[in-house]
Amino acid sequence: MKKRTIYSWGAATVIFVVLMIVTPTIPQSQAYHDFADQRTFFGIPNALNVISNFPFLIIGLIGLVLCFYPDDYFRFSLRGEKLGWTCFFVGVAAVAFGSSYYHLHPDDARLVWDRLPMTIAFTSIMAIFVIERIDEHKGTYSIVPLLLVGLVSILYWRQAVICRFFDDLRPYALVQFVPCIVIPLMAILLPPMYTHSTYWLWAAGFYLLAKVEEAADKPIYSWTHHILSGHSIKHVCAAMVPVFLTLMLAKRSVQTERISLYKTWKISWTRSRGKGTEEESFECTYTNVAVEEARLDINLENMESSFRFIDQCLLISQTFMSFPHLMIISACLLIAVFSYHSFKPTHIYLIDFSCYQPPDFLRSPIANFIEHLNLSGIFDRECLDLQQKILERSGIGDDACVPVTVHEIPPHSSLSASREETHDILFTVVQDLFSKHKIDPKSIDILVSNCSLFCPSPSITSIIINKFGMRSNVKSFSLSGMGCSAGLLSINLVKDLMKIHGGSLALVLSMEAVSPNGYKGKCKSMLIANTIFRMGGAAILLSNRDQDKDKAKYKLQHLIRTHLGSDDESYESVMQEVDEEGLVGVALSKQLVKVASKALKINVVELGPRVLPYSEQIKYIISFIKRKWRKHKEKEVYTPNFKKAFEHFCIHAGGRAIIEGVEKHLKLEKEDGEASRTTLYRYGNTSSSSLWYEMQYLEAKGRMKKGDRVWQIGFGSGFKANSAVWKCITEIDSREKNAWSDRIHLYPVCGDVSG
C-alpha cells in the first residue's frame, strides 16, 4: 500500500475520532416514528407509507435482472462493477421489504431493518464511484469494507437490539450524508469512464427532494388536505434515484475522451458566449452526444423490444438534460429549501390568554374571612390568632375570591365541590378564548393542564376534551404535584412538543383548586396555606404556525428551568404531609424565602448570559474576579441591571415576602413589582395562574408596548424556579376586555398595598 493511501486513511480516521469526541451523541428521537399519515386501508396500518415502498422492489428486481442479462446488457467494462451494482440493486429491492416492515408498526427495533438495506445501497454507490472515477482495483477491494462500515454504523446506533449499549446516530449519519455530498462533487469534478454521467446529478437531486419531503411530512399532509403525506411522496421520489441510475446504465457507453462535467460545462459556456446570438445548432455537452435542432440522436441498438418503455423515458430525460444551467439552478433551489426546513428555528407564539374573573358574590373580604374562621368552630384561639395575623400581613385585599364551599360554615371539601370549582374556572376561560378568536376545539393539537393538589379521574384534560368535543388524537397531558411553577413548566412541555410537531395549536390550562385543600389541624406551618390561596385560573393559546405570527401577542424567547430537588432543605420547603392528628395539609418552611432566593440565583446565572447586554456581563465578570482576588475589599458580586434586558417583571404572587425577596435579590425598584403586588392584592395567590393575571394587568394599564420584553418568574414545590422571557410582537389594545378591565382605574392602591 502506498504511503499516500496510508496517510489518507490515517487522516480520515483521526478526523472521525475527533468528531466523535467533540460532538455530542445523537440519540434516536421517538418523535421520528410519529408520521403524519397513519390511516389504515384494507387492514394495512399506515397504508400509504407501506404501499409507497413498492417501486423499490420493481426497480430493484429490474436492475438485478439486467445486471445478469445475456449479452452483457449494461456493458460493464471494469473489474468489480457487476459486484458493486449487484449489491446496490439488492439493497434497493430490500428497501421495499425493510421499509414496509418498519412502517407497519414504527419503532426503533424495526427501524434497523429499514436502514440496513439503505446503508447497503449507499456504501455500494461509494465503491462504484471509486471503481469508475479513481482506481479500479481499490474500488473493487473497498466494496466489502464499505459494506461492513455501514453495518457497524447501524449496530453502533441500535446496539439495544442486542445488549442496549449505544444509542448514537452519528456514525450512521456520516454513512448516509457523506455520499450525498461526495457523489455529486465526484460526478462533477472527476472525469467519468462512461457517457451520460449527468444522470448521477439527477439522482442526487431526487434524493435531496426526498429529504425535503421527509422533513415537511406534516405540512405537506396539511397542504394536500390529508390526501398525501410528505413521507409517502418521499418514498416515490427516493425510488427515482435507482430509476435514473438504471437508465444511465442502459444508455451509457465508454467515453473516448474522458473529460469532467465541470470542464464540459466550462467549454459549453465559453462557446455560447463566443457565438453571441447565433444559433446554428446545439450540442448536449453533458453526454458529448450531438443533438440537432429537430431531433435527439438516441442510440439504443442493444435494447430489447421487451424494454421499449425505457426508450421513451430516455427521450424525455434527454430533452430535460439538454439544459444544464436549468438543472444547476434547480439543484441550488432544492438545497436552499432543504436547508431552510432543516435549520430554521421553531418559534412559539402566544396568540392570547384568558384569566378567570370570579363573580363578585364570591369575594372574601379579610374581615369576613376571619369571621368565618371564628364561626366554623374548627380552630382554637391560638390557630385563629395566627391565621388572622398572617392575613393582615399577607398583602391580599378584599376583592380576592374563594369557591362557594369555602363560604359555607363550616367549609367542607368534597369531590363534587372540587369538580364544580374546576368546571367553573376552566370552562369559562376556555370558552372565552375560543369565542374571542373563533377557535374550533377540533383544531387544538396539544392540550396541557396543571393543577397540583386536585387530580381527578378522568383527568382535567379529559374533562376539557369531553366538554368541548376535541379530536380523538389530541395530545393531552395532565400535570399534578408540580406546585405554583407548573404554569411555566406546562409552557416548557408545549415548547418541547412543538419542536417535534410542526404546525400545531396548543392550549395550556393553569389553576389550583382551593375547595379540597383546606387544612383543619393545628400545625402552624400548614395553617399558612389556608390564608393565602384564592380562586383563579388561566387558559393560554400557543402556536408554532407561521400564519399565526401576525395575530399573536407575544413570542417566547427563553425558558429556563431550575430544580433543587437534590437538596433536602429545598425539597422539604413546600411539602404536603400528614400532621400528628392524621390531617393532610401543605407545610411551608420558614426557610422558603431563602430557598427561593437560592433557586432564583441559579436560574439567573443560566438566563443572564442569554439576555443581558455585554456591558452588564462584563461588569459582573470583573466584580466576580475582584471578589476572588480581594476578599476583604469586595463584599458582594455586582448584581446586573436587569432593567436593561427587560421592560417588565412578573414575579409569582406567592406572598408579600416572596415578591420583596425577589426585588431585593435582583435590586429592583418597588415599581418593578407593581404588577405582582397588585395581583396579590386583588386576586390573592392563584398559584401557577398568577403570572398571567400580572401580564393582563400590564396590558390593561397600557404599559405593554410592541418590542417590550417581559420576564416571568415562577416558584414551586420541589423546589423549582422557572423563568420565561416573552417579547411583545404586536400593539396591545389596553381597552380590550380582560380580568382587570372593570376596575383597572382603582390600581395601584396608594401606599403599600401589602399593609
Q: Which residues pair with 721 in a beta bridge?
A: 562, 715
Strands 709-716 and 648-651: parallel
Q: What percent of the chain has pLDDT over 70?
A: 81
The more confidently predicted of residues 19 and 255 is: 255
How confident is the model at residue 2, as a pLDDT? 57
pLDDT digits (tens, 9 = 90+) for 448-506: 999 988 999 999 999 999 999 999 999 999 999 888 889 999 999 999 998 888 789 99
Mean pLDDT, range 1-14, rounded to an integer: 63
pLDDT digits (tens, 9 = 90+) for 591-634: 888 899 999 999 998 898 889 988 888 888 888 887 777 655 55
Q: How confident is the model at residue 431 (pLDDT cuts 50, 70, 90)?
A: very high
Cβ neighbourhood burial of 257 (10 Å; 0-12, 13-18, 19+): exposed
Largest CA distance in the chain: 110
Q: How confident is the model at residue 8 (pLDDT cuts 50, 70, 90)?
A: low
How confident is the model at residue 24, as a pLDDT? 67
How confident is the model at residue 164, as a pLDDT? 39
pLDDT digits (tens, 9 = 90+) for 685-742: 999 999 999 999 999 999 999 999 999 999 999 899 999 999 999 999 988 999 999 9
**95 has a pLDDT exceeding 90:** yes
Q: What percent of the chain has pLDDT over 90?
A: 37
Q: What are phi and psi of 671, to 5 degrees?
A: -65, -30
Please enumerate, as own/partner, the contacts of 454-461 that have beta carbons within 8 Å and a separation of 24 or more.
454/418, 454/422, 454/480, 454/512, 454/513, 454/515, 454/516, 454/517, 455/480, 455/481, 456/415, 456/418, 456/419, 456/422, 460/422, 460/426, 460/509, 461/509
Q: What DSSP state is assigned to residue 547?
A: G
Query: Of the ranges 73-87, 283-297, 569-583, which one carries the lowest mean pLDDT score?
Result: 283-297
Task: Return the SS3 of 290.
Answer: strand
- Could you give the residue ranges of the DSSP H alpha helices within 158-257? 170-189, 198-215, 217-223, 230-251
pLDDT digits (tens, 9 = 90+) for 175-230: 777 777 777 777 777 777 788 878 888 888 888 899 888 888 888 888 888 888 99
CA 74 to mean position of chain CA atoms: 47
**286 has a pLDDT exceeding 60:** no
How confident is the model at residue 250, as a pLDDT? 87
The more confidently predicted of residues 31 and 350 is: 350
Question: Which of 71, 116, 64 lies closest to 86, judged by CA?
Answer: 64
The more confidently predicted of residues 43 and 675 is: 675
Mean pLDDT, range 159-166, rounded to an integer: 43
Contact of 478 with 455, CB cutoff 8 Å: yes
**313 has a pLDDT exceeding 50:** no
Q: How confident is the model at residue 750 (pLDDT cuts 50, 70, 90)?
A: low
CB neighbours of residue 387 within 10 Å: 20
List residues with catalytic annotation.
484, 563, 648, 652, 685
N- to C-terminal Cα distance for the chain? 88
How confident is the model at residue 337, as a pLDDT? 53
**361 has a pLDDT exceeding 60:** yes
How confident is the model at residue 276, as a pLDDT? 46
